Chains A and B, each alone.
Chain A
Amino acid sequence: MSTYDRSMALTGQPPKEINLNQKIASIVGMLGLAILLLATFNVSFPNKAFWLTLSLVSISGGTIWFSWEQYKGKYPGIKNDGVWFKSLTNLGFWGWIAGLAITTFYVILYFFPEYLGLVNGGDNKGVIGLFDPLSKALSGNPASQWFVYGALYTVAILAFGIKFMWKYRHNRYERIRTMSVMFFQTSFAFLIPEFMARLNGSSVLQGGSLPFLDLKNIWPLNYYNFESYRIKGFLSSGDIGFAMLIFAILSVFVITPFLTYKFGKRWYCSWVCGCGGLAETIGDPFRQLSDKSVKAWKIERWVIHSVVVFVTLMTTAVIYSYLGNDTSKYWLTKTTFLLGVAALLTLVFAWVMIFKRDQLQKDAKYGAIGYFVIIISLIAIHFFSGEGHVFLFKSGALRKNYSFLIGSIFSGVIGTGFYPIFGNRAWCRFGCPMAAMMGFQQRLFSKFRITTNGGQCISCGNCSTYCEMGIDVRAYAQKGENIVRSSCVGCGICSAVCPRGVLKLENGPLQGRIDSNQVLLGNDVDLMELVNSK
């Protein structure tokens, strides 16, 4: 043993090669992708419906078969063997290639849809053309790049959702939550809006036409939901349109706060949301890549809260710009609206400062900064805006910038494209204003917490490593503290991978939820008092 050289750089090896069936399954999946690729390069397929079906079936079939081969002979339990040895999942060569490929796809999708075959006003070509039959069958309209995207997105969540359920089959929380995500993606995000589009112009809507709406896509994630054209769309579409508008407003002010109070933000982020759904299924192999350093946490808080401030101001400005000044026409005028927003924010701010100051500690300062930025901006909007413009900008310009920077670049290109680089929830963690707002509530006013099981933690670090939100779970667990963090999406993976049964996600009484004391059981009680007295 003495000859052993300490300085040798050693890395492990992946446990097993993939087997023959997995190779065939990969080929099947690749063939499906190849059809899409050929279509993109304008190979014209005679029977589009047939080739499209063949393509989607082989993509999902290949994925599912591959996963089955991967997990079939194994006992239920943690399946993270070799994660850090594979170049796809350890920031190695294939990781970067995958990141590059997905990013390229997003850039084309958002900014150059014509390369995918989008033709405005004519027959689509390319891969978008290939999807025309499906789109027509659902909504009656030709496909768009968004339809293609939505369809592929749904296929990904379904196929990789099944993989995820096999991988975590020892854990019913994971399985049920994944079924939920698969359901919401297929119905609410994909099918229902397409069916609703069929109704446009029909008598049910009194001849109006609804804007495309994924009902579960709530402001501020759906940052454009209260724009003028959409409001007009809702209001023109009879009772159904009106009901949908009311639902959209209730979602923001009643449903979301209520469910977040009862269950934490996980009800949305890990059970309903499509972005979360993609992250948890196809993105699951990359969760360990999120940065756990304190520095990353600092950056996270600045970035995400800036996004919240921005989206609030932008939405206010957009709504402001289309409201009138005449009270006799409509009770909601520019001035009442601004006052209303300011009053609401002040109420929330005052409530937090009065009742929840202690829990916020240092963050209170940043909250205050955010609040005053918004209020001052609101005042400025009032004094320096005229018809159709806010300050010196056209009101649309703010919105366009947001939509470009946050909606496209952040949530799509970086958020998803960089799964293999920054981990699967980079968007949810750094960019999503919806997550930030619910997180704020989760931290201060929710029954949800991750309970730490007394003194059982052995500081192994599995929980922190596999937390996709970059939360250093171990830092709390090893001190016996509960984990109550605004960014926690309640995916439950930290609890699933903990080898000592230390963590439990639960909704319990508010009292004693945030216990910053070290309640390490098994210790002498007097000692615990001493340890905590400092």
Chain B
Amino acid sequence: MENIVIIGNGIAGVSAARHIRKLSDKRIIIVSAETDYFFSRTALMYVYMGHMKFEHTQPYENWFWEKNRIELVNAFVNKVDTENKALTLDGSRTLHYDKLILATGSKPNKFGWPGQDLHGVQGLYSKQDLDLLEVNAPNKEVCKRAVIVGGGLIGIELAEMLRTRDIPVTFLVRESSFWNGVLPEGESQMINEHILEHHIDLRLATNLKEIVSDENGKVKSVIIAETGEELPCDMVGLTAGVTPNMDFLKDSGIELGRGIKVNRHLETNIPDVYAIGDCAEQHEAIGNRRPIEAVWYTGRMMGETVAQTICGNRIEYKPGHWFNSAKFLDIEYQTYGWVFSERGMKDYEAHFHWRHSSEKLCITVAYNKETEQFLGINTFGIRMRHEMFDRWLTQEKDVNYVMQHLADANFDPEFYKHHESAILSKYNSDRGTSIKPKKKSFKRIFQLT
């Protein structure tokens, strides 16, 4: 029987294992060093905030693995010997494979700041990081101030976490407005305001120069590059993005770039070795996507794809229309298709932006100036129906059509206030159109005839 070995029990590795099991009887072994069982990394914050216990982040009960004959090995892989098709586990044991799937995820970026390895300085990626946070910042007495470096999705999650324990937080963001490399101006501005509302000391256009140690090798303060100001603190969170986790592959002969290089079939340069999830880097980006996609659902999709290939049906990784979601403190964010920030905007791209007069709600719709084709939407505080936007993107609907049928796409809970007419009246006045909103129709939504 063929021996499939998967390194990494995250969403990518586990999706691959589950689908290989669905399709075949092959022997499946998952080796991972972080935890015994698969858990949802995206939920780590909720454990610190007391919304869930760690066990709640595990999507499958513990008996699931044995029942599905997926063998779990808790060990660290030090070396991959592609010539003999063998792995070295924990420095000693050897494990043979016929096919190897690398699903090793990411690790937090460190940009060589002085003091970045002091006690009290940490990232937020793994279960171990979460446990460490309980040591570094268990409460506001032990941690009188925390400084977070890096204004991305993980940074704002960390800020939210610490605020639930009343710990004062200073948030250093390199950009001139929060996440404005990704978000258009109006949205980024709204999030700035919301961060301040939550009593987070947001410092925009601010870089870290140095982390200062006390006499015990523990963080004492940070120094800000622009002003030279020294901020006393007990904990520093480094959340300036992630990079693929692949140090152990250096001498394996597997081609590495910023990530593990793969082709559209998720194959590396070495036969029978595949890479999926956060750690994989496409030779060429797919559409507007980045070559390395460090998001949850792409890991899942790559796992499903590679399972097909391994079970004899060699197929390409073909992700559909881009979508994603996140939450900034109390504000939910969803995106479908492509809406670029001013920095990354395409020449043909134009935006329509609406923001509610008092509540923290806004949307941005991107369309093609020349062809009027709808390109994508960002929504804040309004939930949207994935199915509708996926379909409209496939059908290449024009922007007027989408605006007119926004009610079909609304996914807010029942009885929520609707904003379609407000949105549309701004749209009409911005663009000189006179579109009337269509009522929601289940017939259209579910394509009933």
Contacts and interface: CB of A to CB of B under 8 A. Distances in A.
A462 B46 contact: yes
A84 B53 contact: yes
B131 A501 contact: no
B325 A501 contact: yes
Interface in A34-67: none
Contacts of A511: 446, 448
A446 B271 CA distance: 52
A12 B50 contact: yes
Contacts of B135: 4, 8, 10
B165 interface: yes
A122 interface: no
Nearest to B14: A459
B50 A82 contact: yes
B446 A461 contact: no
Contact of B51 (A80, A474, A508, A524): A80
A362 interface: no
Contacts of A324: none
Given A14-B50, A461-B56, A504 B323 contact: no
Interface stretch (B77-85, B203-211, B382-390, B419-427): B382-390
Interface stretch (B180-188, B240-248, B300-308): B300-308
B166 interface: yes
B52 interface: yes
A75 B40 contact: no
B1 to A, nearest CB: 19
Nearest to B313: A530
B117 interface: yes
A1 B51 contact: no
A505 interface: yes
A460 B11 CA distance: 12
A99 to B, nearest CB: 19
A12 B117 contact: no
Contact of A522 (B138, B165, B320): B320
B255 interface: no
B119 interface: yes
A511 B398 CA distance: 29
Interface in B193-220: 197-198
B442 A523 contact: no
Interface string A1-18: 101101010111111100
B417 interface: yes
B59 A459 contact: yes
Contact of A75 (B57, B304, B330, B415): B330
A85 B51 CA distance: 9
A508 B442 contact: yes
Nearest to B55: A461
Nearest to A17: B166
Contacts of A496: 413
A84 B50 contact: yes
Interface in B396-428: 411-417
A8 B131 contact: yes
Interface string A452-465: 01111011111011
B321 interface: yes
A525 interface: yes
Given A465-B51, A500-B327, A521-B390, A455 B297 contact: yes
A424 interface: no
Given A12-B48, A83-B51, A461-B59, A527 B308 contact: yes
Chain A interface size, as a band, is 35 or more
B43 interface: yes
Interface in A61-91: 75-78, 80-86, 90
A492 interface: yes
B134 A12 contact: yes
A6 B49 contact: no
A173 B132 contact: no
A15 B413 CA distance: 29
Given A501-B411, A508-B446, A509-B448, A1 B50 contact: no
B3 interface: no
Contacts of A1: 117, 119, 121-122, 132
Taking each of B321, B330, B385, B414, which has the highest tally of chain A beta carbons within 10 Å of its own beta carbon?
B414
B61 interface: yes
Given A4-B132, A453-B411, A461-B57, A527 B296 contact: no
A521 B386 contact: yes
Given A478-B59, A524-B320, A531 B50 contact: no
Given A4-B135, A465-B56, A524 B448 contact: no
Interface string B127-141: 010011011001100
B257 interface: no
A4 B128 contact: yes
A326 B120 CA distance: 88
B315 interface: yes
Interface of B: 11, 19, 22-23, 40, 42-43, 46-53, 56-59, 61, 117, 119, 121-122, 128, 131-132, 134-135, 138-139, 164-166, 197-198, 296-297, 300-301, 304-305, 308, 313, 315, 317-323, 325-327, 329-330, 332, 334, 383-387, 390, 411-417, 442, 445-446, 448
Q: Can you list the 5 inter-chain pairs with the closest CB atoms, starting with the nearest?
A: A454-B386, A77-B330, A501-B383, A524-B318, A460-B43
Interface of A: 1, 3-4, 6, 8, 10-16, 75-78, 80-86, 90, 170-173, 176, 293-294, 451, 453-456, 458-462, 464-465, 474-475, 478, 492, 495-497, 499-501, 504-506, 508-509, 511-512, 520-527, 530-531, 534
Given A15-B166, A80-B49, 15 more contacts: A8-B131, A8-B135, A12-B134, A83-B50, A173-B415, A454-B385, A454-B387, A459-B43, A500-B334, A501-B325, A504-B413, A506-B414, A509-B442, A520-B300, A524-B320
20 contacts: A12-B138, A13-B165, A80-B49, A82-B164, A84-B50, A90-B53, A173-B416, A451-B411, A453-B411, A454-B323, A460-B42, A462-B43, A465-B51, A496-B413, A501-B384, A504-B412, A504-B413, A522-B319, A522-B321, A526-B315
